[in-house]
Chain A
Amino acid sequence: MNESIRKHDASRPLMPHQQALIDQFFAEPAIRGYIVRWAVGLGKSYTVVHLIKRLLATQPAARILVLSPGALQSQMRDMLEQIGVSAEAVDRFRYRELQDAVSPHSELWWAGRVYLLSTDFAKQEDIALSLCSVQWTLLVVDEAQQLRAQRKGIVRALVASSPKLRALLLSSTGIDDPSQLGIEPWKETRTRAVDVVDAAGRRILDQPRPELKILEFHLDDSERRLRDSVDEIAQVLGVNDSNAGLPGPVFAALAASSPSALEAGLRRLRNRLAHGAYEFSQTAGEQGDMGDLSDAGEHTAVLPGDPGELLELLNRCLNELDALAVDSKLVALKTLLGQAQVPVPTPRPMCIVTSYRATLLYLQAALEELGITPWALYGAMSDDTRVQTVRGFAEHGGVLLATTAALKGLSMQQVDLLVMYDLPRNPSMVVPLLTRFQRVGRTDPLTLTVLLESKAERTVESALISKLQAFLADDQDSGVS
C-alpha cells in the first residue's frame, strides 16, 4: 500500500497516549467528563472515533452526539466511516426530514447512532429542546475552547437532561472549569508533544526537523503603480484595521495575494456601488485566513467617502490591472516549481497554501499551463468533492492547492514541500496552519517555503516570520518537532 495512504488510514494502530485515554474512559465509568487537552496534531479526533466505535460495540444502543464547528463535520464523518461507523450530519434541512419521518413508535434521535451537529445549530432553541428530549450516552465537543454563552448553554442543558451522559471536551488550549457545565466529576488529560511516544516507544520529537526557506521577489514598476492605486482605494475606504471592519486593509491583502484576488474584490465592490449599495461585507473568500470555513458571521460596514470618487478609482485600478503584464510573485513560484522538479516521476507531495479562493483558481490555471494538474481544496466545495480531493491527494500525491481555511482539521503529514503563497494576515494563524503538516506520522522532513515581497518596511511580515522560525526551531506545546 502507498505510504501516504497508510498514514491516512484510520485503522492504523493507536499510539500509547491515545489508547490510554480510551482505556481510562471505559475503566472509570464514574468519571462524567474528560477534558482532552492535547497539543494540535496528537490525534484527538482520531482517538475519539475509535472510542466511539468501541462504545457502540459494547453498548449498541448508545446515542452519541458530536458537536463541532460546522466546517469540521465532514472530516469527522469521514473518519468515522473509515472505521465502519456510520454517522449522520444534521443541519436544518435534515432536521426537518427527521421530524417528518418520526412515527408514534419512534424517536427523532435514534439510539445506536452517531449524530454530528454544528454547535451553533445545536444551540438554537428548538433544536436544543429536541436534543434534550432524549437520553444521550456520549457527548463529544470538538474545539471546546470555543464554548461561550449560548454554546455553553446547550452543553449545560444536555448534561442536565441526560443524567447518564458522559462528555469528552476536546481542545488544544484548555477550557474553563467543566463543573460550570454540570459535568462532575471530571478529569483533564493533558498531553504535550514532548511527552509522546509512538507505538514502538520512539519519541515523536525525534521526527525529522523542518526547514524554512524564504523566497524573496521584487515587484516591477507596473506592479508598484498598481499597489499605489490600491493604497489610494484603501485610503478612501479607511485603513484602520480596528475600525469596524472597513475594507481598506482587505484590498491591500488581496493585492498582495494575486492579481486575480484583487480583481475579484474590485469587481465585486464596483458592482455593489453600481447597483447603489454603499456598503461592504467581506465574502467568505475575502476573509482570507478566517474565510471559507469560518463560522464567523458576515460583517457589513457602510462605505465612507464619495461613491463617485470611489467608482472612478476602482475603474482606474481595474484598467491598470488589465494592462498588468507581469506577476513577479507567480514567476517566483514557477521558478520554485522548476527547482523542485515538479512534476517528477515519483511525486513528492507538495502543498501550496493561499488565503484566497480567487488566488487558488489563478494558481490552478498557472500550474495547468505548466502541465501540472493540481488538486484543489477550498471552502465552497461539496462534502463529497472535498473528501474525494483529500483522499485523492493522499493516495496519488502531486500538488495540492488549498486555502488556509480549507485545511482546518486535516492531517497533512505526508506533505514534503509546503509553500506559503500568502502569509496569513493574522500571525496567530501561523501555528495552527503549520501543525496540519508538522504532526505525528511524519517520516520525511518538511520543507517550508515562504514567498516574501522585497520591500523596505515589513513589520507584519517580520512578526510572522519570527513566529514561523520559533515554531520550526522548537515548539514544546504542539505536535511538532
Chain B
Amino acid sequence: MIPKMRLVTGGLGEQGISSELDLVSALFHQINRVMPENQRPLTVPPGMTVADALALMRHNGYSQVPVAMGGVVLGVFSHRSFAQKAAEYTWHEVSKQKCAPGDLVVEDCLEQFDYARVSQEMRQVFDAMDRNNGVLVGSPEMLQGILTPMDFLRYLYKVASPFVMLSEIELTLRALIRLAVNQDELEELAERSLAQFYGPGKVPRTLEGITFDNYKSIIEHGENWPRFEPIFGGNRTRTAAKLKQLSDLRNDLFHFKRELTVEDHETISGLRDWLLLRAKMADARRDTREKP
C-alpha cells in the first residue's frame, strides 16, 4: 500500500507551500521528475470495445490505458487485465453472450492500479510498480499521468549517465597527466599553478588529493602547457576551453544547479570520446617508444 503523503498547509500560507515544494523537489528524485515532461494521459471510456482499445494502445505504443468516465478514473485496462479476463472466458459464456473476446468492453476487464503523488519519492512506488507494471499519478478525480517501468529506466539513465561519463573523464584526465609528467614533475607543476589556491608548499602531492578544476589549472598554465601539448594536441586555448566546458557541466551536475539538456549530454559524450582518443594515441606512442 502506498503511504499517503499530504502536504501540511495549515499555517504555511501559499508562499509556504511553494517553498516546501521547492525544497522537496530539490532534495529527492520525485515522481514529478520521473514522469516525461510531455506526457499527456490518454484515457478511454468504459464502453470502448477491447478490440478498439487494443488498436488505440498499439497505435500509441502503450500496454495499459486508464479508463475514465466524466473525468473520473474507474481503473486501468491493460494487456494483463485483458489476458486474465480472456482466460476466464469459457466457451459456454461465448455461446451464451454471442460475443468474442474482442467484442468485450474495457469496463469488463478493469484492474486497479495504485496512485502516487508527484511529490513522492520514486522509490516509494517501486513495490506498486513491481506488482502492476504501472502506477497512476494524481487521483481518480485528477489524473496527472501514468508511470511505467520504462519511464523509470529512462529517467535513471538520464540522471546516471553523465555521472558515469564524468567519472571516466576524470580518470582519463588523471591518466593523461601521469603520462605527461612523472611524480617529481607533477609536484613542481602543481606547485607552480596551484600555490595561489592552497598557499606555497601546501599543494597536495597527488592527483587524488586535488580537484577537477585543479587538473585544469595545471594543464592550462602557460609554463606547464609545453609538457601537455603532445598529449592533448591542439593549442592551449582550445584545450582550456574544452576543460572549462567540462568543469562547468560537472559543477552544474554535481551541485544540481540545473537539469542537463540533450546537447549537454552530447557535449559530455563528445569530450569523453576526445579524451579517450588522446589516451589511446598517447598509449600507442608510448608503446612504440618502449619497443626494443
Task: List A residues at the B interface (Cβ < 8 Å).
Answer: 86, 88, 92-93, 96-97, 99-103, 110, 113, 124-126, 259-260, 263-264, 267-268, 271, 283-285, 321-322, 324-325, 327, 330, 358, 361-362, 364-366, 368-369, 380-382, 384-385
A263 to B267, CA, bound (A): 11
Residues in chain A near residue B40, CB distance under 8 A: 124-126
Assess whether A93 is in contact with B37, with CB atoms less than 8 Å apart: yes
15 A-B pairs in the complex with CB atoms less than 8 angstroms apart: A93-B32, A93-B33, A96-B32, A97-B119, A99-B144, A260-B238, A264-B270, A324-B235, A361-B242, A364-B241, A366-B237, A369-B220, A369-B237, A381-B258, A382-B257
With A97-B118, A321-B234 already in contact, the answer to whether A284 and B263 are too (CB < 8 A) is yes
A125 to B38, CA, bound (A): 12
Instruction: Tell whether B252 is near chain A: CB-to-CB under 8 Å.
Output: yes
Assess whether A97 is in contact with B25, with CB atoms less than 8 Å apart: yes
Name the interface residues of B239-260: CB closer than 8 Å to any CB of A.
Answer: 240-242, 244-245, 248, 252, 257-258
B28-41 interface code vs A (CB 8 A; 1 in, 0 out): 00001101011010
Assess whether A365 is in contact with B266, with CB atoms less than 8 Å apart: no
Assess whether A364 is in contact with B244, with CB atoms less than 8 Å apart: yes
**Contacting A361 at CB < 8 Å: which of B138, B144, B241?**
B241
Q: How far is the CB of A118 from chain B (nearest CB, A)?
A: 13
Assess whether A382 is in contact with B258, with CB atoms less than 8 Å apart: yes
Of A96, A101, A362, which is in contact with the most chain B CB atoms at under 10 Å from its CB? A96
Residues in chain B near residue A267, CB distance under 8 A: 270, 273-274
- Chain B contact residues: over half helix, strand or loop, or mixed? helix
Q: Please tell me which stretch of B14-22, B78-86, B122-130 contacts chain A, meaning at least 4 of its Cβ atoms lie within 8 angstroms of it.
A: B14-22
Of B32, B33, B138, B238, which is in contact with the most chain A CB atoms at under 10 Å from its CB? B238
A260 to B241, CA, bound (A): 8
Nearest B residue to A267 via CB reads: B270
Assess whether A100 is in contact with B119, with CB atoms less than 8 Å apart: yes
Assess whether B142 is in contact with A99, with CB atoms less than 8 Å apart: yes
Assess whether A97 is in contact with B32, with CB atoms less than 8 Å apart: yes
B213-239 interface code vs A (CB 8 A; 1 in, 0 out): 000000010100000000001111110
With A110-B14, A126-B40, A285-B263 already in contact, the answer to whether A271 and B269 are too (CB < 8 A) is yes
A88 to B19, CA, bound (A): 11
With A97-B119, A103-B9, A368-B240 already in contact, the answer to whether A380 and B263 are too (CB < 8 A) is yes
Assess whether A271 is in contact with B237, with CB atoms less than 8 Å apart: no
Assess whether B263 is in contact with A97, with CB atoms less than 8 Å apart: no
Assess whether B138 is in contact with A99, with CB atoms less than 8 Å apart: yes
With A100-B118, A260-B238 already in contact, the answer to whether A369 and B273 are too (CB < 8 A) is no
Task: List B residues at the A interface (Cβ < 8 Å).
Answer: 7, 9, 14-15, 17-18, 21, 25, 32-33, 35, 37-38, 40, 117-119, 138, 142, 144-145, 220, 222, 233-238, 240-242, 244-245, 248, 252, 257-258, 261-264, 266-267, 269-270, 273-274
Q: How far is the CB of A102 from chain B (nearest CB, A)?
A: 8
Assess whether B240 is in contact with A380, with CB atoms less than 8 Å apart: no
A92 to B242, CA, bound (A): 33
Residues in chain B near residue A385, CB distance under 8 A: 257
**Contacting B238 at CB < 8 Å: which of A88, A263, A284?**
A263
With A267-B274, A271-B273 already in contact, the answer to whether A325 and B235 are too (CB < 8 A) is yes
Nearest B residue to A366 via CB reads: B237
With A97-B25, A381-B258, A382-B258 already in contact, the answer to whether A365 and B234 are too (CB < 8 A) is no
A124 to B39, CA, bound (A): 12
Residues in chain B near residue A271, CB distance under 8 A: 266, 269-270, 273
A203 to B119, CA, bound (A): 54
Nearest B residue to A266 via CB reads: B270
Q: How far is the CB of B95 from chain A (nearest CB, A)?
A: 44
Residues in chain B near residue A368, CB distance under 8 A: 240
Assess whether A369 is in contact with B236, with CB atoms less than 8 Å apart: yes
A264 to B242, CA, bound (A): 9
**Contacting A88 at CB < 8 Å: which of B18, B32, B237, B261?**
B18
With A322-B234, A324-B235, A381-B258 already in contact, the answer to whether A362 and B241 are too (CB < 8 A) is yes
Nearest B residue to A261 via CB reads: B241
A102 to B7, CA, bound (A): 10
A139 to B201, CA, bound (A): 62
Assess whether A365 is in contact with B220, with CB atoms less than 8 Å apart: yes
**Contacting B118 at CB < 8 Å: which of A88, A96, A284?**
A96
Residues in chain B near residue A88, CB distance under 8 A: 18
Q: How far is the CB of A288 from chain B (nearest CB, A)?
A: 14
Q: How far is the CB of B205 from chain A (nearest CB, A)?
A: 26
